[in-house]
């Protein structure tokens, strides 16, 4: 069996092997007649997207001799740029959610502070009324008028205690008023940041729609036979990349079984196969790439960052030779795509607009690195 055919077989058998991969250490559903393959370098750069000419949204219909490889590279560029904009949109969305929650918390603190201030004012008023009823005579005059000096001394002590309590009330009222002012300033700042994130989301949405529209227009100008040839070119490019990755012998060094949480994450991702890619989606009926991985790990009981770039920044990095099912593979130099490793050199991912959640070769795209969501 040739290496290209073996590479194609990888994705087809990956799910059938998943249970074995997850539960048995050192198993990877090896292909007959081939020793298990060794790590490709974890780093990678985005593919070179060159050779296409003309604006993607304009020009005449392609001729029969159109350079479809150049079209494929141009489509890759457009979908990659859409993925970058999608990450920006998702990041702005997450920040906006946190800011909204902070504003709600500040509003609660303001209400509590106002209630506390009203209660303090009532207590201060009661203390002032009590002092007024005691009269405003100097202490020496009240002693002279008193028939019981001891009672006077007792009353004087009580008055001093009341005065100290009143001073404490006034101090607490002042502090509460300052807290309310600070809450109001914080809320105002959060509203400004929230407005900025809303604008960032709107800008990112425009960029996403622009890139996807350009890709759709470019593809629509191809005749039916050219579209079929383009599809085969895309499959061939992915297959060649996967075969080259496997031919390094990478799989012979990957023998770690999944953690319990990783098994849950893989099962969740497997259950989403066939659902459409929709940018910004987090399920349950559709996903984008990081929406799928973040929801899979949330279902496993381990919340992780929403975007592929933040997953790359914040999660623990592991070497390719140490990766196990459930780990996340980050792709392209700018961490603009993410997939879940499921074993035997295969991934589950949400590829791009117009595609569905699917199984693919882990080496079919340039790998930036691998991250592990769970601690073990």
Question: Quick check: helix, strand or coil at residue 82?
Answer: helix
Instruction: Give the span between the Cα atoms of 57 and 53, in whole angstroms.
Output: 11
Instruction: Give the span between the Cα atoms of 119 and 122, in whole angstroms.
Output: 5
Q: What are phi and psi of 138, to 5 degrees?
A: -60, 155
Among residues 17, 29, 80, 349, the one annotated as catalytic is: 349
Among residues 17, 289, 317, 333, the one annotated as catalytic is: 289
Residue 289 annotated among the catalytic residues of the structure:
yes
48: alpha, beta or left? (left if phi > 0; alpha if psi -120 to 50): beta
User: If we measure between CA atoms, which residue out of 218, 270, 250, 236 comes closest to residue 362?
Assistant: 250
Instruction: Give the span between the Cα atoms of 362 and 365, in whole angstroms.
Output: 7
Residues sharing a CB contact under 8 Å with residue 88, sequence separation 6 or more, in sequence order: 200, 204, 207
Residues sharing a CB contact under 8 Å with residue 238, sequence separation 6 or more, in sequence order: 360, 361, 364, 365
Other Cβ atoms closer than 10 A to 146: 14
Among residues 17, 29, 80, 337, the one annotated as catalytic is: 337
Residue 333 annotated among the catalytic residues of the structure:
no
Q: Name the DSSP class of 354.
A: T
Instruction: Give the span between the Cα atoms of 161 and 228, in whole angstroms.
Output: 91
Other Cβ atoms closer than 10 A to 62: 16
Answer yes or no: are the C-beta atoms of 334 and 313 closer than 8 Å: no
Instruction: Give the span between the Cα atoms of 157 and 167, in whole angstroms.
Output: 15
Residue 29 annotated among the catalytic residues of the structure:
no
The catalytic site residues sit at 289, 337, 349
């Amino acid at each position: 069996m040739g290496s290209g055919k073996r590479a194609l077989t990888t994705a087809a058998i990956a799910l059938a092997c998943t249970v074995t991969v997850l539960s048995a250490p050192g198993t990877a559903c090896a292909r007959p007649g081939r020793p298990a393959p060794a790590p490709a370098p974890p780093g990678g750069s985005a593919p070179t997207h060159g050779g296409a000419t003309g604006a993607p949204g304009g020009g005449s219909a392609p001729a029969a001799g159109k350079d479809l490889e150049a079209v494929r590279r141009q489509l890759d560029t457009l979908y990659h740029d859409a993925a970058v904009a999608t990450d920006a949109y998702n990041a702005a969305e997450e920040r906006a959610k946190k800011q909204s929650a902070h504003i709600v918390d500040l509003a609660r603190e303001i209400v509590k502070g106002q209630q506390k201030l009203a209660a303090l004012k009532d207590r201060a008023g009661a203390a002032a009324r009590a002092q007024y009823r005691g009269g405003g005579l100097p202490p020496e005059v009240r002693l002279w008028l008193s028939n019981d000096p001891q009672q006077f001394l007792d009353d004087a002590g009580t008055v001093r205690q009341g005065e100290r309590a009143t001073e404490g009330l006034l101090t607490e009222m002042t502090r509460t008023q300052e807290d309310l002012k600070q809450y109001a300033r914080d809320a105002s700042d959060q509203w400004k940041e929230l407005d900025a994130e809303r604008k960032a989301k709107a800008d990112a949405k425009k960029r996403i729609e622009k890139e996807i529209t350009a890709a759709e227009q470019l593809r629509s100008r191809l005749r039916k036979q050219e579209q079929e040839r383009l599809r085969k070119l895309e499959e061939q490019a992915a297959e060649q990349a996967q075969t080259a990755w496997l031919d390094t012998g990478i799989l012979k060094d990957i023998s770690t079984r999944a953690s319990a949480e990783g098994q849950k994450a893989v099962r969740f991702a497997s259950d989403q196969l066939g659902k459409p890619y929709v940018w910004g989606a987090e399920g349950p009926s559709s996903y984008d790439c990081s929406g799928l991985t973040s929801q899979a790990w949330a279902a496993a009981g381990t919340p992780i960052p929403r975007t592929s770039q933040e997953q790359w920044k914040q999660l623990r990095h592991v070497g390719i030779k140490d990766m196990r099912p459930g780990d996340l593979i980050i792709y392209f130099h700018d961490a603009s795509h993410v997939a879940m490793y499921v074993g035997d050199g295969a991934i589950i991912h949400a590829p791009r607009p117009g595609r569905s959640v699917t199984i693919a070769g882990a080496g079919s795209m340039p790998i930036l690195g691998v991250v592990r969501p769970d601690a073990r």
